[in-house]
Structure 1
Amino acid sequence: MVVAERKPIEEILAMVADYRKILLVGCKGCVTVCCAGGTKEVGILASALRIARKKEGKPLEVVEHTLERQCDPEYIEQLAPMLEGDGIEAVVSMACSVGPQYIAKRYVIPVYPALNTTFIGGSLEHGVWAEYCQACGNCIIHHFGGLCPISRCSKSLMNGPCGGSANGKCEVSPEIDCVWHLIYDRMKELGQLDKLRQVFPARDWSTSRDGGPRKIVREDLKL
């Protein structure tokens, strides 16, 4: 899932400093799962903004709404009744960065992001998430026992480990496990250590973000 975290309240207050009425929009997708932008988080942020602005003597009216998703145009369309003639001066999106971009594309109104989109990852324990994928566009984890050296190695080494790892820990980030240590243990467990003799050439990053904004077209799904 896409993992995000809320911006500091001071930063969001600065964004809406000139407005008297805003629409705060949450998302029931990934950011709900990582407790950053669901219905509950919308309520918490709305209350915090109202209280802070009341203390400043500049009351702020916050309209709360949570969409099923903010990464699909049909759901963005549901905001139309609220944004047409309701006096709302700006929109604050509590979704990954796709959400505010979709809202800005559809409506002629200032749109602000309340979250920082961080990575594609998974849950380690309650309240803890870690990066597992950089969305490079060409998955090769089957060569490494199902583990990704691109996202989970601090140096994105394809032929590791480097010379700095020690006791199974990364030299760049000693608090995390060296993924190449994990890969070795995994391949040994699978009886496939011989596969680690394969030398991978310099990676072709044309499928990654380096080639510009990417797009997938499924002709079988198009209407």
Structure 2
Amino acid sequence: MIIAERKPLEEIFSMVKSFKKVLILGCRGCVAVCNAGGEKEVATLAEALKLAAKKAGQEMEVLQETFVRQCDPEYLEPLAEMAKDFEAILSMACGVGVNLIADRYPDTLVFPALNTTFYGANLEAGSWEEKCRGCGDCILHLTAGLCPIARCAKNLLNGPCGGSQGGKCEIRPDVPCVWHEIYERLKRLNRLENMKQIMPAKDWTPAGHGGLRRRKREDLLAR
């Protein structure tokens, strides 16, 4: 799941303070699950913006809408007409949604209301933790399902560094060393032979270092 958090109100208001009619557009996808951009958050931001505008002595009409998703073109189709009625759109989706709106509606001003942070898991209500970096070259079959790219502070591929002590990372005493966890899990699963495999230098091209990433499935493309 993509994890995001709302930008500070001051930053958001600075983006749209020169406009008199603004649409806040929420998303019922990942950002709704992590309580950053769903209908409730849209309503909260709308009221906050109205108060900020009033305090600044400005006129601003703030309207609200929430789509099923902002990362799929079919759900953005209503914007073709809606966008004409607004001077700017504040997207409460992840950065993918902001990009897609900008791509499809080049004459529409769209601004991000959220900071997109990482791919994570919901540990408990109100708590998320990064589990995947989306590097495009998955090695989880060798590391017992635990990702050293996302969960090691140094992205090490061949065991822990010298700073790891007592199963903890040197960056903070409350952060577990993922390589310690990998070792213990491989041991429990009788797969310690995986630790003997020397991983080569990682090819970071699939992670986006070669430019814009795309993927196509010929069997799914419309003919």
Superposed pair shares fold, TM > 0.5: yes
Matched, 1:157 2:167: no
Q: Deviations over 1:9-42 (max 9, x none)?
A: 0000100110011010001100001100011100
* TM-superposed deviation, 1:140: 1.0
Q: What is the alpha-carbon distance in structure 2 between the residues aligned to residue 221 and residue 162 of structure 1?
A: 44
Matched, 1:92 2:100: no
* TM-superposed deviation, 1:147: 0.5
TM-score (norm 2): 0.96
Residue 147 of structure 2 corresponds to 148
Matched, 1:215 2:214: yes
Query: SS in structure 1 opposite 2:54?
Result: helix
Moved over 6 A (4+): none
Residue 116 of structure 1 corresponds to 115
* Mean Cα deviation higher: 168-177 or 17-26: 168-177
* Partner amino acid, structure 2, of 1:103: I
* TM-superposed deviation, 1:111: 0.9
Q: Deviations over 1:61-83 (max 9, x none)?
A: 11100011101111111122322
Residue 72 of structure 1 corresponds to 72
* TM-superposed deviation, 1:47: 0.6
* Partner amino acid, structure 1, of 2:44: I
1:154/1:173 contact within 8 Å kept: no
* Partner amino acid, structure 1, of 2:195: L
Alignment coverage as a number of residue pairs: 221
* TM-superposed deviation, 1:163: 0.5
Counterpart among 98, 101, 114 of residue 99 in structure 2: 101
* TM-superposed deviation, 1:204: 1.4
* Mean Cα deviation higher: 7-16 or 101-110: 101-110
Q: What is the alpha-carbon distance in structure 1 between the residues aligned to residue 67 and residue 108 of structure 2?
A: 18
Query: SS in structure 1 opposite 2:77?
Result: helix
RMSD between superposed Cα atoms in Å: 1.0
Gaps of 5+ in 1: none
Residue 46 of structure 1 corresponds to 46
Percent of aligned pairs sharing the same letter: 56
Q: Deviations over 1:40-95 (max 9, x none)?
A: 100000010011111222132111000111011111111223223x2x11010000
* Partner amino acid, structure 1, of 2:87: E
